[in-house]
């Protein structure tokens, strides 16, 4: 247990010590080597890099050098990332073998290791993180501490105004004032639907009951999205602090974080954060001596996408199958064990402390008219700078894909971007200049979603993509309501038919009809939004659907069944290698003659293609 | 859907019924229904699947019908009724990996091992799973073997890894 004065003291001391993390001109002889420990970098051996640095420093008996484990820096495509402060040198794709050289050349001799410096998209080497185009258009609020602090050390969180917002709320603000601030800030739910956060808090506060709960939805199920996980891994205390503020505001003393068991690092760091906060008396009873009690427990999800739906999540916390409840009543009236419950998503919580400290006006000055603040996106797919980005609302898709994302690799063209995952839609080239906010994305047939943003180049088949998302919803449908359980399955069958070259125009009409019925008749958000990927691809890429249905052609050559493998008679030298390797004897022709593929026998395995020494075989 | 577990009476993990782990588990948790999923998570983690005798123990301990426990196990993809292979291979089919061609990796894997996703080879050596985003999107497409991530995967790379494991 620490007294409030002791916590103030830690904050001041630690802040001085860590000045070099955010100030390149910090007056210090110390050097901090920050090693990214987000999931991406951890997968490519960053723990070993950390270990090597520590070992070498000890062996050489170096002083004034510290090696620190941090959360995600964002530029996952360049991982594993090592940053040296205060000079802010950015080393990319570091291997455990590079540690020796970095210590010798950079730390001891004071020169940069040129070959490891991160290259910008135009190939120029950059000296520091701020010079990278990737970071220039970003604004970090929710990710403020990610990559700056050690997420497993509460003192480092305290150093950067950690738990100051909680102190302010408990000591100086009434619940009404907190709600007013959050409402005025314009913050909306970052889970995807965009419900005004202040309103949600107000509704839950208004419900009269002796027991209420605060829940954090960390069941990030959208395939290809990893924003929430990065926040939990890089700055877990920001979520705890916001949940406590929420508890004080709505009158709850108990919180639950529902997090995917597939996120072992996030779970571990959250538990560490909870334990540390309890030790300091920031979580538990009589917090900061104000008489306010609040505790938080972790609940593990077990791999069901539907549990991201708030009422399904509540069922799962109660130990049951995660099937959604019929709304109303909403969780604000009857949630966990029938008690009023406030549920917000991780990123929403990560904004709260900043809003309390810097004020509603500051927050609402960022963004567009109806969507305030910033949004974190997990940028992935066919784009150069794969990673985590946080941009002010109103930034255009073009800026994200081309400026921050560095464009499309291999000189290909942009075809579409997908936001909102299995519940969202595709945005084609003609809408690249749409400013990103809740309303404008909805208008063009997609949605904000939780933040997955997948870029696709012109080699992608949109019918296959629609099929991919339907496969996902079919396997994740909980089975409670018929439109979703059976309807999505029927839609998938139609798409499979189209991709197999056995579809007709009528199937496209059927798809549309089913989509509109499932949208209207499903119980929960999963079912209601399941047809979105089909509706939006049909809207913008109908021609491709028709080509599949009528011409039996897949222009992207992704649908194998329709691919016709041919031998170019100009290039064929009659060597017969293709014939020798064909597993089904589909290649005809005599020795030293040009060969022909019997399309009826061909199974499109592509073996001939890889064995032809003259590149004479193609689609 | 996973197969029915009626005939899965004998336990393949060589543990004694009510082993130390299970005893410990029953002592850690209170007999409240809400604890089911948390306990199942620990069971899955420890045994690699949820053996039938453990389901029965949980049923008695938490006072939940066995059928309901079966319902919960089959609802969540993390819980399995059969042991995974010695080498549990998962292919990420999240969107970022899909766009980069992870389907081809999966096709090759099922072809080489002769089993589908969610299945284990007869000799118990390999099992295949589909996962949705392991979070290493910068390395897409990825597959994992017993949790170890192999990034920027190609069919050739998969073949190399498989050959190595087959000879182990």
- Tell me the shortest Cα–Cα distance from B76 to chain A, in angstroms: 5
DSSP at A547: I
A251: pLDDT strictly greater than 60: yes
Q: Which domains does chain A have, with CATH numbers?
A: 17-129 (3.40.30.10), 154-364 (3.40.50.11540), 374-457 (3.10.20.600), 462-551 (1.20.1440.230), 564-619 (3.30.70.20)
Q: Note the pLDDT tens digit of each residue in A189-234.
A: 998 889 999 999 999 999 999 999 999 999 998 888 899 999 999 9
Instruction: Answer yes or no: are the C-beta atoms of A223 and B132 closer than 8 Å.
Output: yes
Q: Using CA atoms, how far apart are residues B131 and A548, in angstroms rounded to an integer? A: 29
Other beta carbons less than 10 A from residue B74's beta carbon: 17
Confidence of residue A489 (pLDDT cuts 50, 70, 90): very high
Alpha carbon of A396 to those of A328, A402, A427: distances in Å?
A: 36, 10, 12
Which residues are B127's β-sheet partners?
B88, B120
Q: Using CA atoms, how far apart are residues B106 and B115, in angstroms rounded to an integer? A: 11
Residue the block writes with tokens 């749409």: A434
Would you state the structure tokens that stand for residue A24, as one six-digit string? 């390149």
Confidence of residue A92 (pLDDT cuts 50, 70, 90): very high
Instruction: Answer yes or no: are the C-beta atoms of A420 and A447 closer than 8 Å.
Output: yes
Average pLDDT, chain A: 94
Three-state DSSP string of A272-315? HHHHHHHHCCCCEEEECCCCEEEEEEEEEECCCHHHHCHHHHHH
Q: Which of A302, A320, A387 sits opposite B138 (nearest CB)?
A: A387
Question: So where are chain B's domains?
Answer: 20-75, 87-166
Cβ contact, residue pair B99, A381, below 8 Å: yes
Q: Looking at residues A383-399, what average pLDDT do you find?
A: 95
What is the four-CA torsion angle of A262, A265, A271, A276, rounded to 10 degrees?
A: -170
Most confident stretch, A268-282, A298-312, A558-572, B6-20: A268-282
| Long-range CB pairs of A177-183, under 8 A, 24+ apart, other chains included | A178/A245, A178/A248, A178/A249, A178/A356, A179/A205, A179/A249, A180/A360, A181/A355, A181/A356, A181/A359, A181/A360, A182/A352, A182/A355, A182/A360, A183/A360
Per-residue confidence (pLDDT) for residue A615, from 0 to 100? 82
- Tell me the shortest Cα–Cα distance from A223 to chain B, in angstroms: 4
Confidence of residue B13 (pLDDT cuts 50, 70, 90): low
Helix (H, G, I), strand (E, B) or coil at A397: helix
Instruction: Answer yes or no: are the C-beta atoms of B22 and B57 closer than 8 Å.
Output: yes
Burial of A404 (0-12, 13-18, 19+ CB in 10 A): buried
Confidence of residue A290 (pLDDT cuts 50, 70, 90): very high
Percentage of residues of chain A with pLDDT beyond 70: 100
Instruction: Answer yes or no: are the C-beta atoms of A69 and A37 closer than 8 Å.
Output: yes
Cβ contact, residue pair A454, B95, below 8 Å: yes
Q: Note the pLDDT tens digit of each residue in B25-78.
A: 999 999 999 999 999 999 999 998 999 999 999 999 999 999 999 999 999 999
Q: Looking at residues A291-316, what average pLDDT do you find?
A: 95
| Chain B hits for A43, Cβ within 8 Å | 134-136, 139, 142, 149, 151
Cβ contact, residue pair A322, B138, below 8 Å: no
Confidence of residue B17 (pLDDT cuts 50, 70, 90): low
Q: Looking at residues A258-264, what average pLDDT do you find?
A: 90
Q: Using CA atoms, how far apart are residues A228 and B99, in angstroms rounded to an integer? A: 22
Q: Note the pLDDT tens digit of each residue in A590-607.
A: 888 899 998 888 877 677
Q: Using CA atoms, how far apart are residues A281 and A348, in angstroms rounded to an integer? A: 25
Cβ contact, residue pair B138, A478, below 8 Å: no
Q: Using CA atoms, how far apart are residues A181 and A174, in angstroms rounded to an integer? A: 11
- Tell me the shortest Cα–Cα distance from B18 to chain A, in angstroms: 23
| Chain A hits for B149, Cβ within 8 Å | 43-44
Per-residue confidence (pLDDT) for residue B168, from 0 to 100? 83
Average pLDDT, chain B: 88
Q: Which of A319, A381, A456 sits opposite B34 (nearest CB)?
A: A319
Q: Which of A76, A263, A321 sits opposite B72 (nearest CB)?
A: A321
Give Rg (Cα) of chain A: 27
Q: Apex CA A440: angle with CA A439 and CA A444, to 5°?
A: 115
Residue of B nearest to A457 (CA): B99
B11: pLDDT strictly greater than 60: no
Is the torsion defined by CA of A510, A516, A522, A527 positive or negative? positive
Query: Within 13 Å and on the Cβ side, how many CA atoms surround A372?
Result: 21
What fold characterizes domain B87-166? Glutaredoxin (3.40.30)
- B131-155: b (≥16 Cβ within 10 Å) or e: bbbbbbbbbbbbbbbeeebbbebee
A129: pLDDT strictly greater than 50: yes
Cβ contact, residue pair B99, A456, below 8 Å: yes
B140: pLDDT strictly greater than 70: yes
Q: Which of B34, B134, B138 sits opposite A79 (nearest CB)?
A: B138
Cβ contact, residue pair A261, B41, below 8 Å: yes
Q: Note the pLDDT tens digit of each residue in B64-118.
A: 999 999 999 999 999 999 899 999 999 999 888 998 889 889 999 999 999 999 8
Q: Note the pLDDT tens digit of each residue in A435-480.
A: 999 999 999 989 998 899 999 998 899 999 999 999 999 999 999 9
Q: Using CA atoms, how far apart are residues A538 and A504, in angstroms rounded to an integer? A: 15
Q: Using CA atoms, how far apart are residues A140 and A147, in angstroms rounded to an integer? A: 11
Bond from prior residue into A505 cis (ω within 30 degrees of 0): no
For chain B, what is the total number of helices (H) and then of strands (E)?
Answer: 7, 4
Q: Note the pLDDT tens digit of each residue in A130-174.
A: 889 999 999 999 999 999 999 999 999 999 999 999 999 999 999
Which alpha helices (DSSP H) does A18-104 contain, by range? Answer: 19-22, 39-43, 46-60, 99-101
Write down the pTM of the prediction. 0.91
Instruction: Answer yes or no: are the C-beta atoms of A146 and A231 closer than 8 Å.
Output: yes
Q: Which of B79, B98, B131 sits opposite A302 (nearest CB)?
A: B79
Per-residue confidence (pLDDT) for residue A559, from 0 to 100? 86
Q: Using CA atoms, how far apart are residues A382 and A410, in angstroms rounded to an integer? A: 9
Cβ contact, residue pair A262, B131, below 8 Å: yes
Which residues are B14's β-sheet partners?
none
B4: pLDDT strictly greater than 50: no
């Amino acid at each position: 247990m620490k007294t409030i004065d002791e916590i103030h003291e830690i904050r001041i001391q630690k802040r001085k010590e860590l000045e070099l993390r955010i100030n390149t001109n910090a007056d210090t002889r110390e050097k901090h080597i920050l090693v990214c420990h987000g999931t991406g970098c951890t997968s490519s051996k960053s723990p070993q890099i950390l270990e090597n640095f520590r070992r070498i420093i000890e062996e050489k008996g170096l002083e004034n050098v510290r090696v620190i484990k941090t959360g995600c820096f964002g530029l996952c495509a360049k991982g594993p990332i090592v940053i040296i402060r205060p000079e802010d040198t950015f080393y990319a794709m570091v291997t455990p073998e590079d540690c020796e050289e970095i210590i010798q050349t950079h730390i001891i001799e004071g020169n940069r290791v040129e070959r490891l410096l991160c290259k910008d998209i135009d190939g120029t080497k950059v000296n520091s993180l701020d010079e990278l185009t990737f970071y220039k258009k970003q604004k970090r609020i929710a990710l403020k501490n990610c990559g700056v602090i050690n997420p497993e050390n509460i003192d480092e969180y305290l150093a950067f105004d950690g738990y100051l917002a909680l102190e302010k709320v408990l000591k100086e603000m009434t619940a009404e004032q907190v709600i007013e601030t959050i409402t005025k800030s314009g913050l909306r739910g970052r889970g995807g639907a965009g419900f005004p956060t202040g309103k949600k808090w107000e509704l839950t506060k208004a419900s009269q009951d002796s027991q209420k709960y605060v829940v954090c939805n960390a069941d990030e199920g959208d395939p290809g999205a990893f924003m929430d996980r990065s926040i939990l891994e890089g700055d877990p205390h920001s979520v705890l602090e916001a949940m406590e503020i929420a508890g004080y505001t709505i009158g709850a003393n108990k919180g639950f974080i529902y997090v995917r068991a597939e996120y072992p690092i996030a779970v571990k760091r959250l538990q560490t954060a909870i334990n540390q906060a309890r030790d300091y008396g920031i979580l538990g009873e009589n917090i900061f001596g104000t008489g306010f009690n609040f505790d938080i427990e972790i609940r593990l999800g077990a791999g069901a996408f539907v549990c991201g739906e708030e009422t399904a999540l509540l069922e799962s916390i109660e130990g049951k199958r995660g099937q959604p409840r019929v709304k109303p009543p909403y969780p604000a009236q009857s949630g966990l064990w029938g008690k009023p419950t406030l549920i917000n998503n991780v990123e929403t919580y990560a904004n709260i402390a900043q809003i309390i400290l810097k004020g509603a006006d500051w927050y609402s000055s960022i963004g567009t008219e109806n969507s305030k603040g910033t949004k974190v996106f997990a940028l992935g797919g066919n784009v150069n700078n794969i990673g985590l980005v946080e941009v002010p609302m109103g930034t255009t898709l073009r800026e994200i894909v081309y400026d921050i994302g560095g464009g499309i690799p291999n000189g290909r063209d942009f075809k579409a971007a997908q936001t909102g995952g299995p519940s969202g839609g595709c945005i084609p080239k003609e809408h690249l200049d749409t400013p990103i906010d809740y309303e404008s994305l909805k208008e063009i047939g997609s949605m904000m979603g939780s933040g997955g943003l997948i870029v696709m180049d012109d080699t992608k088949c949109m019918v296959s993509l629609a099929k991919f998302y339907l496969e996902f919803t079919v396997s994740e449908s909980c089975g409670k309501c018929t439109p979703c359980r059976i309807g999505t399955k029927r839609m998938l069958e139609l798409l499979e038919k189209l991709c197999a070259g056995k579809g007709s125009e009528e199937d496209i009409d059927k798809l549309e009809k089913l989509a509109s019925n499932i949208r209207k008749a499903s119980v929960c958000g999963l079912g209601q939004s399941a047809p979105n990927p089909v509706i939006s691809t049909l809207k913008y890429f109908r021609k491709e659907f028709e080509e599949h249905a009528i011409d039996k052609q897949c222009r992207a050559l992704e649908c194998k069944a329709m691919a016709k493998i041919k031998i170019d008679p100009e290039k064929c030298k009659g060597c017969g290698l293709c014939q020798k390797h064909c597993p089904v004897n589909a290649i005809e022709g005599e020795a030293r003659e040009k060969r022909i593929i019997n399309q009826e026998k061909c199974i499109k395995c592509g073996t001939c293609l890889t064995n032809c020494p003259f590149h004479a075989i193609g689609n | 859907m996973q197969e029915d577990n009626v005939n899965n009476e004998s336990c393949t993990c060589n543990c004694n019924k009510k082993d130390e782990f299970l005893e410990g588990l029953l002592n850690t948790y209170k007999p409240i229904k809400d604890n089911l999923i948390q306990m199942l998570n620990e069971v899955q983690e420890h045994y690699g699947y949820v053996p039938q005798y453990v389901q029965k123990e949980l049923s008695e301990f938490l006072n939940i019908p066995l059928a309901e426990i079966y319902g919960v196990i089959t609802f969540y993809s993390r819980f399995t009724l059969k042991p995974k292979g010695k080498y549990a291979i998962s292919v990420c089919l999240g969107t970022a990996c899909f766009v980069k061609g992870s389907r081809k990796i999966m096709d090759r894997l099922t072809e080489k091992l002769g089993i589908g996703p969610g299945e284990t080879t007869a000799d118990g050596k390999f099992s295949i799973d589909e996962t949705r985003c392991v979070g290493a999107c910068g390395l897409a497409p990825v597959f994992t073997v017993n949790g170890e991530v192999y990034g920027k995967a190609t069919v050739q790379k998969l073949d190399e890894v498989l050959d190595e494991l087959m000879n182990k």
